Structure 1
Amino acid sequence: MRLKTINSKFIIKAALLVGFMSFNFSNAQEIIEDEAPQVEKAKDSVVNTTRIKADGVAAVVGDFIILESDLDREIAQLKAQGADLKGLTRCELFGSLLESKLYAHQAIQDSVIVNELYIKSRVDQQIQGILGQLNGDMSKLLKFYKKDSEQALRDEMYEINKNAYLAQEMQGKVTGDIEVTPEEVRTFFNDIPKDERPTFGTELKLAEIVIIPEVTEEAKQAVIDKLKGFKVDIEENGSSFTTKVLFYTEDAASKPDGGKYTLNRKQPRMVKEFRDVAFSMQEGEISEPFETDFGYHIIYLEKIRGQEYDVRHILLRPELTQEAIKKAKDEIDEVRAKIIDGTLTFAEAAREFSDQKETKFEGGQMTNPTTQDFNFELTRMDPELYSQIQDLKDGEISEVLQDEDRINRIKFKILTVTDRIDDHEADFAKDYLKIKNLALQDKQIRAVEKWQKETIVDTYIKINGEYRDCDFQSNWLKK
């Protein structure tokens, strides 16, 4: 039963990280309007329950108060975000909410430093993200959240983000340094009864060859000249940098906020070239055009606050000529033909011709971004990638595919399946990395349980109402 317990706990924690430990405004469909406060009978499951109207203080954890209606709002947020709550009870979800508050409370006791500028910047990004989907209508946003003013909304978002930040920092302190040795992994695996060992789904190893159309020097210079023109117009004619951003920038992420980013010398977020330019500037200065992998930029340094730099930027990407696109397409067609007729192996062609730096020197072998190994589990594969390889037989070369990414508007690629591992029961040698992750999760859970047990004893906790009838995994009732 040990493995089932691990999976159950981590399903709950993964779901709650979406809602309880973040205030996610990345999609307008995820916004849930407050309804009349309601609480389900605490022992019932999330979905099939008789509901009774109530509100009041459901629990107190240290300095934090949890209202009866808080859990309903969080469950509604989780459902809207697509979290699978089937089989989870309100008691289990409420217990995890208590846990997040315990983390946040203890973080305050341990004097965990809150990066207030980071929190405010995150709130700014969240509000701008929603407004971008509401056509900039702040009154509609305030009405939706039943707030009298923008400041009231910002204050509430700030508190939620701050508490989530504290909880995450504290959780990191508890589990961040935990590692497992090979012997611990072996012991963990051997302790799982044979009939309870996990089954891993079909996995593929994939390789790719990517050809990216080349940008001409003329196209690069045209973008540089355009950015220089913006700089002159702003400095000499008083034009607005923010207005230029709204009309011209190709950075969709920062456009709704007027191209604004907050950089911190101690917390790298941007690419090195961007940071180097920003940190070399004086307040109020506009940079000369410079290049990153994403294109060409100019930066306006708006404000310096100690280690924090508020910047706005305009991103332009050089145009691709039809000749460059055709040349890239012809090249990958030729490469594919050479692989099929046996002139080159796929790996040889990748090393010689591919423009994808991350895979080129591995013979095109792709790395799973989630597991950091070469295996892609079919049921967990990115849907777009799955659609590209679902009909490929082992060793078969795909047709030429046109694709894009954050850096390249157009790229051409071919894919192949280099190995296939069918559904199978966990094998220590073949599945070591997966088993190691399960062993690490088990050790982290035990560390959290030990930390909770000790911290609950030393923290003021009061559970009210029907939640006192819950059979919590942790001793929240201090029985």
Structure 2
Amino acid sequence: MNKFLLVLLFSTAMLQAQTVVEPDSTGVVKSNDSLVVQKTTTRDTVKPFERFKAEGVSAVVGEYVILDSDIDKAYVEMQSQGMSIEDITRCQLMGKLMEDKLYAHQAKQDSIMVPDAEINGMIDQQLQYMIGELGSEEKVAAYYRKDNIADLRRDLFEANKSIKLASLMQQKVIEKVEVTPEEVRTFFFSIPEEERPVFGAEIEIAQIVVDPKITKQAIDEVKGRLNAIRADIIDNGASFSTKAVLYSKDPGSNSKGGLYTGVKRDSPWAKEFKDQAFSLLEGEISEPFETEFGWHLLYVEKIRGQEVDVRHILMFPEVSQKSIDEAQKKIEDLKNQIEAGEISFAEAARKNSDDKETRNNGGQLVNPISFDTKFDLTKMDPTLSQQVYNLKEGEVSEVFTDRDRTGKSSLKILTVTQKYEEHKADFSKDYERIKKLALREKQIKVINKWQNEKIKDTYISINEDYQDCEFAGDWLKK
């Protein structure tokens, strides 16, 4: 791949890695010594180092200060996320950090606002995850070298607000950028044929899902258990949190006593869940209610303006062996009918699949990352990949049991509707992919132009240690 595309792809990665290189987001120090970071192998205009003192100011961008230690911590964060730092120089990280601060500074100048409640909700989720990993608030504070959790929360607030402001500002800069078909064509054919990107093997997949039927008796039993828990809490003062730890089947919250913070009306929760969350008063407990995930009790712990903090208990009705056997027979019969040519896979999915999201489209799966129907075989979910890796086009997989994140089981069959072999980029076949690359290149040009204009009007001070860096932007105002 030529130098132009390498620069494009690197720039794209750096643009998208907002949280990776935002150094203030952790304050991680692994020992009492200065951070030790491996030497880089790429030529850098700042001397490679083994130990770098965590004092001193590297740069000032508007009202924001970038410390030497911030760059060290950026390396640590990249390593902690499994990213290679072999080819990332200090100059490149410094440039990215200055870009982030310029965005945040300009966002304030343009009166772009981020509600404190939104930032606090993000922090609550981060702290819950950290506490879940380390065990207690005290251990989290100690790990991040803070005296207490309040100090860590203050640091996280500033870091998250800076990241959010930068993100909103960047979105504003590129929101109206579009590419015409002629620009896409010019972009593609400007790349020498021998240097055009190679796209990996991809497949399109369809599924049929059959859920074992749940009887009315099983539903009555689970509602009875939830009502008994509700009565014990209301009548006897039992702890909702303790009940959630003991009985809730939601792996995302049961260890936290069923707690979810910062639930909003427009957040992607089930409608029934949000209806309960915003109809109850603080301290009230709902009656048992059903969502697509199961049966719930919900307790409103705190109302904070347009957000609520809730606790919930999730339970599933027991599925009888008879229901499982009936579901197994149904999906095996469908598989036999498809293989015998009596019905197409798509028609069988439309008439019989229990998956609401895919059945009307003949069972066609949508890639949750790219939002199209193609899946890269090397990046697929392992469970999915295992079932389809050796299938030919039109071949139907064996029946298998799949479990969602809540533990609910379904029976499935899959088919490969289309296979795309690894190939060098083709303008006609890969137009949408090429369009995305062309759009990203144009966005980068717009961003660079905007950046250099704002640099001229913003106070910038860079430590002499970085005066020899070859930044992408005119940060040194030469």
Q: Same fold (TM over 0.5)?
A: yes
The unaligned stretches of length 5 or more in structure 1 are: 26-30
- Which residue in the other structure is 1:449 paired with? 448
- Give the CA deviation at 1:450: 1.5
Worse-matched range after superposition: 273-282 or 467-476: 273-282
Matched-pair contact (CA < 8 Å) for 2:297–2:314: yes
Counterpart-to-counterpart distance in 2, 1:262 and 1:9? 35
Rounded Cα–Cα distance in structure 1 between residues aligned with 2:26 and 2:188: 37
Q: Is the 8 A contact 2:349 2:362 kept in 1?
A: yes
The Cα shift of 1:159 comes to 1.8
- In the alignment, the residues of structure 1 paired with residue 398 and residue 297 of structure 2 have an alpha-carbon distance, to the nearest angstrom, of 39
Once the two structures are TM-superposed, the CA of residue 23 in structure 1 deviates from its matched residue by 4.0
Distance in 1 (CA, whole Å) between partners of 2:250 and 2:25 is 23
Paired residue type of 1:207? A
Rounded Cα–Cα distance in structure 2 between residues aligned with 1:21 and 1:3: 28
In structure 1, what is the equivalent of residue 75 of structure 2?
75
CA distance in 2, matches of 1:267, 1:363: 29
CA distance in 2, matches of 1:250, 1:368: 27
Letter in 2 for 1:129: Y
Going from structure 1 to structure 2, the CA distance change for 1:166 and 1:408 (only over 3 Å counts) comes to: same
- 1:45–1:270 distance in 2 versus 1, CA, 3 Å: farther
Question: In structure 1, what is the equivalent of residue 347 of structure 2?
Answer: 348
Distance 1:416 1:425, change over 3 A: same
More displaced, 95-104 or 398-407? 398-407
Distance 2:455 2:265 in 1: 34
Q: Deviations over 1:29-49 (max 9, x none)?
A: xx7635533587998569x94
Query: Aligned equivalents of 2:290 and 2:392: distance in 1?
Result: 41
Structure-to-structure mapping, 1:397-412, within 5 angstroms: 397-406=396-405, 409-412=408-411
- State the Cα deviation string for residues 233-277 of structure 1 (Å, max 9, x = none): 222222222222222222222334432333465642322221122
1:5 is matched with 7
**Residue 127 of structure 1 corresponds to which residue in structure 2?**
127
Q: Secondary structure at the match of 1:133?
A: helix
The match for 1:58 is 58
Indicate the SS of the match to 1:18: coil
Alignment match, 1:33: 30
Q: Give the distance between the partners of 2:48 and 2:156, measured in 1 at CA.
A: 30
Alignment partner of 1:106: what SS? helix
Q: RMSD of the alignment, in Å?
A: 2.6
Distance in 2 between the 1:12 and 1:305 partners?
Answer: 36
- CA distance in 1 between counterparts of 2:26 and 2:247 reads 28
Partner of 1:18: 20
Q: Pick closer, same or farther for the CA change 1:51–1:200 going to 2, 3 Å.
A: same
Code of the aligned partner of 1:222: E
Q: Does 136-145 or 148-157 show the bigger shift? A: 136-145
Between the aligned partners of 1:405 and 1:24, the Cα distance in structure 2 is: 32
- Residue 379 of structure 1: SS of its match in structure 2? coil
Q: Could you tell me how far apart the structure 2 residues matched to 1:123 and 1:49 are?
A: 35
The CA distance in 1 between the partners of 2:350 and 2:265, in whole Å, is 37
1:87 aligns with 2:87: yes
* Aligned-residue offset at 1:303: 2.6
Q: Deviation digits for residues 208-237 of structure 1, max 9, x if unmatched? A: 222111222222222222222222222222
Q: Distance in 1 between matches of 2:238 and 2:73?
A: 45
| Deviation sequence 1:323-356 (CA, Å, 0-9, x none) | 2222212221221122222222222222222212
Structure 1 residues 332-387: Cα deviation after superposition (integer angstroms, max 9, x where no partner):
12211222222222222222222122222222222222222222222332333222
Q: 2:123 is paired with a residue of what secondary structure? A: helix
Distance 1:220 1:24 in 2: 45
| Stretch of structure 1 that moved more, 402-411 or 15-24 | 15-24
Partner in structure 1 of residue 136 of structure 2 = 137
Compared with structure 1, are the counterparts of its residues 294 and 422 closer, same or farther at alpha carbon in structure 2 (3 Å cutoff)? Answer: same
- Aligned-pair CA distance for 1:447: 1.7
Residue in 1 that maps onto 2:287: 288
Where structure 2 has 5 or more consecutive residues not aligned to the other structure, the ranges are none
Deviation at 1:112, TM superposition (A): 2.0
Structure 1 CA distance, aligned partners of 2:420 and 2:295? Answer: 44
The answer as to whether partners of 2:395 and 2:416 remain within 8 angstroms in 1 is yes
1:237 pairs with 2:236: yes
**CA, structure 1 residues 470+35, in 2 after alignment: closer, same or farther (shift >3 Å)?**
farther
Return the letter of the residue paired with 1:276: D
**In structure 2, the residue corresponding to 1:59 is in which secondary structure?**
strand
Comparing 234-243 and 173-182, the one that deviates more = 173-182
Residue 112 (str. 1) matches residue 112 (str. 2): yes
Give the conservation status (yes or no) of the 8 Å contact 1:21–1:164.
no
CA shift, 1:462, in A, is 0.8
Cα gap change, 1:35 to 1:383, in 2 (>3 Å): farther
Alignment of 1:91-106 (within 5 A): 91-106=91-106
- Secondary structure in structure 2 of the residue aligned to 1:311: strand
Q: Secondary structure at the match of 1:370?
A: coil
Taking the aligned partners of 1:61 and 1:453, their CA distance within structure 2 comes to 13
Offset, 1:408: 5.8
The SS at the match of 1:51 is coil
1:164–1:16 CA distance, 2 compared to 1 (3 A): closer
Give the Cα separation in 1 of the matches to 2:43 and 2:194.
31
For residues 356 and 123 of structure 1, the distance between their equivalents in structure 2, rounded to whole angstroms, comes to 34
Instruction: Note if contact 2:26-2:156 (Cα within 8 Å) is conserved in structure 1.
Output: no
CA gap 1:433/1:227 in 2 versus in 1, 3 angstroms: same
CA drift of 1:292 comes to 1.0
Identity of aligned residues (%): 46
What is the CA-CA distance between 1:56 and the residue it aligns to?
Answer: 0.8
Report if the CA contact (8 A) 2:203-2:374 is conserved: yes
Q: For each residue in 1:39-73, what CA deviation from the matched residue of structure 2 results, as whole angstroms up to 9, or x when unmatched? A: 87998569x94424333111111111111111111
CA contact (8 A) 1:129 1:256 kept: no
Aligned to 1:371: 370
- Aligned CA distance change for structure 1 residues 265 and 253 (closer, same or farther; 3 Å): closer
Structure 1 SS opposite 2:299:
strand
Query: 2: distance between equivalents of 1:467 and 1:338?
Result: 69
Taking the aligned partners of 1:155 and 1:188, their CA distance within structure 2 comes to 46
Paired residues in the alignment total 472
Q: Match for 1:132: what amino acid?
A: G
Report SS of the residue matched to 1:53: coil
Residue correspondence of structure 1 range 191-340 to structure 2 within 5 A:
191-263=190-262, 265=264, 267-340=266-339
Note closer, same or farther for the CA distance 1:21–1:329 as it changes in structure 2 (3 Å cut): farther
**Alpha-carbon distance in structure 2 between the residues aligned to 1:22 and 1:404:** 38
* Partner Cα distance (1:171, 1:392) in 2: 43
Query: What residue is the counterpart of 1:28 in the other structure?
Result: none
